[in-house]
Amino acid sequence: MALDHAILVSLLEQPGSGYELARRFERSIGYFWTATHQQIYRVLKRMESDGLLDVRDIPQQGRPDKKEYSVAEPGRDALAAWLHEPIEPESLRHDLAVKIRGAAFDDPAALIREVERHHRVHSERLEHYLTGEWRDFTGPGAPAPLDAGQELQHVVLRGGIAYERMTVAWLDDVLATLHRIGPTAPQA
C-alpha cells in the first residue's frame, strides 16, 4: 500500500490535482514508484473519504476545473506511523532477466536488438537524471546550502543515477555475452 504513502509524500511536498500527481509519477516520484492516472484518481478518492486528504475545487478559465488535494492531519499521522514501522527490503522484478535466461531455449542472438533498446532507454534516463541533478542540486542555479528536504531528495536522485549507471554497465556486459556465445542451437 505504498502508493498511498507516495501520494502523501508528494502532496506534502506540494499540493495538487490528480492530473498533476499523475504527471509527477511520470517524473520525480516516478523514478522509484509508478502509477497511472486511473489508479491515482481511485486512491485519492478513497483517501479523501477516509479523511486523510482535503480537497478544494479550483475553477479555472480556459481549462477544465480541477480538484486540489492536500494532506490533512490524519494523513500526516498515517505517514508518520508508516515511516516508523519497518518494511521488507524489496526484491526485484526484472522481466529482462527472465528473458535472458529463457533465451537459452531459443535463439540468444535474437535478444540483441531488445537488449540494445533497453540500453538506449536506460542511457536516456541516466542523462535525464543527471540534467535534473545539475539543475536542482549541483549546478550554479541550485540553492546552497540545501535544506534537509532537498538533501533527502538529492540522495534519492543519486540512487536513481547509481541504478541507471549500474544498469547500463550491466547491459553492456549482457551484450558482450550474447555476442560471445554467438548463434547457437537452442538447448533441449
Partner DNA sequence: CCTCCCATGTAATTAGTTACATGATTGC
Partner DNA sequence: GCAATCATGTAACTAATTACATGGGAGG
Looking at residues 47 to 76 of the shown chain, list those that interact with DNA (rule: CB under 7 A). Answer: 60, 62-67
Contacts 24+ apart (CB under 8 A), 53-61: 53/11, 58/17
Count other Cβ atoms within 10 Å, centred on residue 187.
7
Q: Does residue 149 interact with a second copy by CB under 8 A?
A: yes
- The x, y and z cell numbers of residue 176, run together, are 558482450
User: In whole angstroms, what is the distance from residue 55 CA to residue 58 CA?
Assistant: 9
Place of cell 531459443: 106
Report the site for a second copy in 60-89 (rule: CB under 8 A).
76, 79-80, 82-84, 86-87, 89
Residue 20 contact among DNA, a second copy, none, beta carbon within 5 to 8 Å by kind: DNA
Question: Considering the complex, what minimum distance in angstroms separates the CB of residue 139 from DNA?
Answer: 24
Q: Does residue 20 interact with DNA by CB under 7 A?
A: yes
CB nearer to a second copy: pick between 64 and 185: 185
User: In whole angstroms, what is the distance from residue 56 CA to residue 30 CA?
Assistant: 25
- Which of 7, 8, 11, 17 is the binder for DNA (CB under 7 A)? 17
